[in-house]
Amino acid sequence: MIKLFPLKHQKILKLSVPAAINSLMDMLQVITDLIMVGRLSAFAVAAVGLGLQSLMFVFAVLTLLHVGTSALLSRFVGAGRMKRASMGLSTLLRFAFMLSLPVMAAWYYLASNIYVWFGTAPEVVALGADYVQMLTWMLPFVFMKLVFVSALNSAGDTKTPMKVKTGSIILNVILNYLLIFGHYGFPELGVLGAAVGTVIVNFLEFLVYLILYLRNKTPYIPAWRYSKSLLSRALKVGIPASFERSLTFGSFMLFTAIIAKYGTAALAGYQIGLRVEGLAFMPGMGFTIAAMALMGQGLGAKKPQQSREDIILVLKYTSGFMFFLSFFMIFMPEKIVWPFTDDAHTIEEASLYLRIVGVSQIPLAFNFVLSGALRGAGDSKRTLKINLVSLWVVRIIPAFVLSWYFESILLVYLAMISDTFVKAVWLWRTFDKGEWQKIKV
């Protein structure tokens, strides 16, 4: 099918399509938990949904590894310096393991308090504490796995992560079926069972990548070497991106606190809406991964104009794809939501959210692709500034004011999508100026 497209489009699609499928399955793996615990109660949905959202603070730390690895290694790959790229990979693997340990310890003791801080129902607190504490045990494997995935994407290999994720999502469904509901002699663990299955799946994913790496089945030379200079270069790009993601997720948690004031059904509906929206934009995120790799490779090869052309082409594909998906979100949200829950009020709340965000899918495509492209160029400080200002000035502060003076959750959601439009315009102007061509990694 891809061979029917022009050669330049084939290069984009060979990177983007597997990455898009992988990102989609990544979100499906998360949504599987929500769908299956949704058969237990609305409290279970709220517990799992808020737990996954609170875990985004950990994934903000992972952004450091993802962006740092991608920006550094893609330039080495573009310049044909695979020995140097291999040194960078081994350095980042060691750093990822060491970084995961304090994060794991801190999150284990702090995570359960998230539910108390948000003032959720006692049933949600009880279910959520066990869920997030169990998920903590997967963090070392997740950290190192992400470095492997980012390194493969940087080298243009997006098919291997897609294949690994295909197997893991099938295993995740099986483990959820056995451990949540207690079939075939397994204990009926409920919400905790979903967490246990997720931990097992992430460990096995990491094991597969490690075996491929040690058996020379990747473009990189297996090693356990360490370079302070390469780590410093990766952190130079990764730390601003991680800080940006931390602030973004922090603002999302504040936004969730606003939604929680409207009751358990509204919170559960919001969580379901987020996951469904995630299904829509995760393929777009796959195109973003391709944008990061293509930007880094083009700059590494000293071809900035090629990088620009590639990014614009990726942007066109992403916008078209997300525009198509927006029709389903706007015109048939109830049919999309019903697999998650039987509760009529929750379905109504989730459908309202999807109709609103469906309008903002094209500017969201601009946000994803252009942010990824700028980070791939090493321009993570500028994306930090754009996201920080827009989130607080356009989204969070207006949302708090509107929720204070009005009872309608609709106005809160309108403030949310306004941020998406403002950010899209700002990112395009930044990309179009071309100052990212001067950034050194």
> What is the distance between the alpha carbons of residues 437 and 302, in angstroms, rounded to a whole number?
10
Q: Which of 237, 236, 244 is nearest to 389 (CA)?
A: 244
Please give the pLDDT value at position 210.
95
pLDDT digits (tens, 9 = 90+) for 162-211: 899 889 888 988 998 888 787 887 777 777 788 888 889 999 999 999 99
The position carrying tokens 């990824």 is: 372
Please give the pLDDT value at position 255.
78
215 Cβ neighbours under 8 A, 6+ residues apart: none
* Phi and psi angles of residue 119, each rounded to the nearest 5 degrees, phi first: 65, 35
Please give the pLDDT value at position 209.
95
Neighbours of 217 (CB within 10 A): 12
Whole-model pTM: value is 0.78
Mean pLDDT per block of 10 residues along the chain (441 residues) reads 62 76 73 69 67 70 85 86 90 92 82 63 65 83 92 88 89 86 78 83 94 92 86 87 77 76 77 75 76 84 85 89 87 81 80 88 90 86 86 86 82 88 93 84 67
Length of the chain counted residue by residue:
441
Q: Which of 278, 267, 266, 295 is nearest to 70 (CA)?
A: 295
Return contacts of 173-181, CB within 8 angstroms, 24+ apart: 173/32, 175/200, 175/201, 176/32, 176/33, 176/36, 177/36, 180/36, 180/37, 180/40, 181/36
Q: Which of 300, 378, 305, 362 is nearest to 330 (CA)?
A: 362
pLDDT digits (tens, 9 = 90+) for 120-176: 666 666 666 677 778 888 889 999 999 999 999 888 888 898 899 889 888 988 998
The position carrying tokens 């800080």 is: 243
* Phi and psi angles of residue 37, each rounded to the nearest 5 degrees, phi first: -75, -20
Contact 45, 351 (CB under 8 A): no
Q: Which of 43, 206, 255 is nearest to 130 (CA)?
A: 43
> What is the distance between the alpha carbons of residues 239 and 81, in angstroms, rounded to a whole number?
24
> What is the distance between the alpha carbons of residues 308 and 435, in angstroms, rounded to a whole number?
12
Q: How large is the angle between the packed helices 56-78 and 42-54, nearest 10 degrees? A: 50
